[in-house]
Structure 1
């Protein structure tokens, strides 16, 4: 019998209704999505540290799970992006909302010591933007 290894988180998967819109959103956040991937039913990109992010169209998911239905709200998965400064949180939020994406929580100074904001991706998933409110001492 082969010894069991500890499972390791390797990929975050998102199910999307519009691949091109989703990839454009995450490219704005700095994810290096392969060029020309907009028409593909499954796309993956490597993140710093070796973790991957993947996108599957709803049709792909239904191909192996015919009972899958789109969640009523997109709030089942939340991703958080560390920004370089409080000003960058504000700038990225402004860029995304200026491009037509829905702002959920405008930038604010959170009681836990971060500049914090939330934007919704094209499928309604919450994407947090944050940075330490004060530079590290």
Structure 2
């Protein structure tokens, strides 16, 4: 913690509540839209021929923005809770999407699996045990 931050009063009424939106970059919007629709994400704005697309899931959003220059680098992973990890895994497989591994139980008390979108963004689908 920085010295300036240490001297600030703490506000017990302020807390992180949830993930609202995450935005990924793509060089191919149509491919990204197809991928996320195949997984069951619902478009609320934009589409395959737009520069920006927003998908809703639960009370959160996943945005895709078109990047026309430079490489897109791997940045990390987003973890998305689903109601049934194994059923979601089977859905991905049945729709031609290849996860990195089958669902497993983690020592941090989640069941999860990972897959990578067409632009290299890693998605983890999980559920607390």
TM over 0.5: yes
**8 Å contact from structure 1 (residues 104, 120) kept in 2:** yes
Of Structure 1 and Structure 2, which has the larger fraction of its residues in helix?
1
* Cα distance in structure 2, aligned partners of 1:42 and 1:36: 6
Q: Alignment partner of 1:25: what SS?
A: helix
The residue that corresponds to 2:50 in the other structure is: 40
* Cα distance in structure 2, aligned partners of 1:101 and 1:17: 19
Unaligned runs of 5+ in 1: 1-7, 63-67
TM-score (norm 2): 0.69
Judged with a 3 Å threshold, the aligned counterparts in structure 2 of structure 1 residues 23 and 124 are, in CA distance, closer, same or farther, namely: same
The residue that corresponds to 1:83 in the other structure is: 82
**8 Å contact from structure 1 (residues 13, 56) kept in 2:** yes
TM-score (norm 1): 0.65
Judged with a 3 Å threshold, the aligned counterparts in structure 2 of structure 1 residues 90 and 70 are, in CA distance, closer, same or farther, namely: same
Please list the CA deviations of residues 91-133 of structure 1 after superposition, one character each: whole Å capped at 9, or x if unmatched: 2112213323231132011112121111111212111111122
> Does residue 115 of structure 1 match 2:95?
no
The residue that corresponds to 2:65 in the other structure is: 56
* Cα distance in structure 1, aligned partners of 2:81 and 2:20: 19
**8 Å contact from structure 1 (residues 101, 120) kept in 2:** no
Unaligned runs of 5+ in 2: 1-15
Q: How many equivalent pairs are there?
A: 112
**8 Å contact from structure 1 (residues 44, 53) kept in 2:** yes
Please list the CA deviations of residues 14-46 of structure 1 after superposition, one character each: whole Å capped at 9, or x if unmatched: 111322232233234443214871111222245
**8 Å contact from structure 1 (residues 102, 121) kept in 2:** no
* Cα distance in structure 2, aligned partners of 1:17 and 1:98: 26
